[in-house]
Amino acid sequence: MHELSIAASIVESVTESAAAYPGARVKEVRLRVGALASVVEDSLKFCWELATEGSPLAGAALVIHILPVILHCDACGADAEIAGVQSFRCPKCGELAADLRQGRELEIESIELEEPDPVAPDPVEEKV
Amino acid sequence: MTTRIVELRKGILKKNDELAAGLRNRFTSAGVLVLNLVSSPGTGKTAFLEWTLRELRARGAQAAALVGDLETDNDARRLAASGAPVRQINTHGICHLDAEMIAKHLDGWQEVSLAGLNYLFIENVGNLVCPSSYDLGERIRVALLSVTEGEDKPLKYPGLFNSADAAVITKMDIAEPCGFDRELALRNINEIRPGIRIFETSAKTGAGMDAWLAYLAEQARPS
């Protein structure tokens, strides 16, 4: 439901960062999104189209990299990835684990820019 | 054409997170305990908060509330009956409160000075998804769940329940006719947020409210 607000925040942030590269076109925006970030991938992609339409980012691809939840288990000391988000138990020893080490990320990892080639200097004509 | 990859590693909600961090500093230095109440529409956040504000005032504590809704100031009027200062935030279609809305409504709130408060409650827009991404500068996030909603709510909305610091089950007075499976609900909450404090309450009968008030007092005590 809030994917449109998120898409708008990404557009704002990427536009700001891309301003440092005048003349460049943003080809791709890559995100890192935790499995617990409450963001629906399809919905965000749909909103991305809407948010970029008519902006300098129009046509830029959005690549979403979903990160699984990683828990730190106090009982056995393991840092382990859990399958899904339905049970916060250490996959190694089965104990409940509250210490979340990964899974809430909501960040722009990188952007891919396409830049015009630097203009080659005019060839110096040799005087005959 | 040449291609360049620029690493950004930038939080998408960075602006909100920075504003929220600023609010948290303000709240901490003013010595006010701020709680963000989140649930589905109809869980009974307002009734729970009405009761809480009234009892806190009766015990001599200073409490105020900001209440978020898409439209209407009905909830603010209900809460104001407790005698506590209350301010409505209308989001006009936005499904969550954000730090900027909180900052804006704190500024120019004539009847409230943060330093004079013990507690500030923020009643979020009824929604179990979107509010989980937006830090409001609160110290305690409370997830509420009513006995009429089904015991598997925490499993359906793990993002929100996992981000909560305390959970409140409301409408316990009608748990039996609703066929509410208490053990299962407690187990599900604990499976998503291991070790979380859970309060089983009824704003109608006052059941479970003493434990809730004791928790508030304990959390408000300067550490």
- Quick check: A53 contacting B, CB < 8 Å? no
Query: Where is B119: in which H helix or E strand?
Result: strand B119-123
Contact A111 B6 (CB under 8 A): yes
- pLDDT tens digits, residue range B6-27? 999 999 999 999 999 999 999 9
Looking at beta carbons, which residues of chain B come within 8 Å of A99?
none
Mean pLDDT of B177-184: 97
pLDDT number for residue A116? 87
**Under DSSP, is residue B218 helix (H, G, I), strand (E, B) or coil?**
helix
Q: Is the pLDDT of residue B184 over 90?
A: yes
Interface A:B, Cβ pairs < 8 A: 112
The answer to whether residue B153 sits within a structural domain is yes
Mean pLDDT of B139-159: 96
Residue of B nearest to A9 (CA): B12
The answer to whether residue B107 sits within a structural domain is yes
Query: Where is B216: in which H helix or E strand?
Result: helix B209-220
Contact B10 A117 (CB under 8 A): no
Summarize chain B as % helix, strand, coil (round to 5).
40, 20, 40
Looking at beta carbons, which residues of chain A come within 8 Å of B133?
2, 6, 37-39, 106
Start-to-end CA span in chain B (Å): 59
C-alpha distance from A111 to closest chain B C-alpha (Å): 5
Q: How confident is the model at residue B221 (pLDDT cuts 50, 70, 90)?
A: confident
Nearest to A98 among B14, B96, B194 (CB): B194
Looking at beta carbons, which residues of chain A come within 8 Å of B91?
none
**Higher-confidence residue: A116 or B64?**
B64
Per-residue buried b or exposed e for B22-61, using 16+ beta carbons within 10 Å of the residue's own CB: ebbebbeeeebbbbbbbbbeebbbbbbbbbbbbbbeeeeb
Contact A115 B11 (CB under 8 A): no
Average pLDDT over chain B, rounded to an integer: 95
Q: Is the pLDDT of residue B122 over 80?
A: yes
- Interface residues of B toward A, Cβ cutoff 8 Å, are 1-15, 94-96, 127, 129-130, 132-133, 155, 158-160, 162-163, 190-195
The answer to whether residue B8 sits within a structural domain is no
Contact B1 A115 (CB under 8 A): yes
What CATH number is attached to the domain comprising B109? 3.40.50.300
The answer to whether residue B25 sits within a structural domain is yes
The answer to whether residue B109 sits within a structural domain is yes
ipTM of the complex: 0.84
Residue of B nearest to A32 (CA): B9
Where helices occur in B59-177 by DSSP H, the ranges are: 74-80, 99-106, 153-156, 158-163
Q: Which one of 3.40.50.300, 3.40.50.1820, 1.10.645.10, 3.30.2320.50 gives the CATH number of domain A3-67+102-114?
A: 3.30.2320.50
Residue of A nearest to B152 (CA): A86
* CB-based contact B102:B16 (threshold 8 Å): no
The answer to whether residue B6 sits within a structural domain is no
Domain boundary assignment for chain A: 3-67+102-114
The answer to whether residue B187 sits within a structural domain is yes
pLDDT number for residue A125? 64
The rounded distance, in Å, linking the Cα atoms of B161 and B144 is 9
- Mutation choice for B interface testing from A62, A71, A108, A109 by most B CBs within 10 A: A108
Task: Please name every residue paired with B140 in a beta bridge, in sequence order, or none if there are none.
Answer: B35
- pLDDT tens digits, residue range B187-220? 999 999 999 999 999 999 999 999 999 999 999 9
Looking at beta carbons, which residues of chain A come within 8 Å of B195?
96, 98
- pLDDT tens digits, residue range B74-100? 999 999 999 999 999 999 988 899 999
The answer to whether residue B4 sits within a structural domain is no
Residue of A nearest to B160 (CA): A38
Low-confidence ranges of chain A (pLDDT < 50): none
Contact A37 B159 (CB under 8 A): yes
Domain that holds residue B131: 14-218
Nearest to A1 among B2, B4, B129 (CB): B129
pLDDT number for residue B223? 60
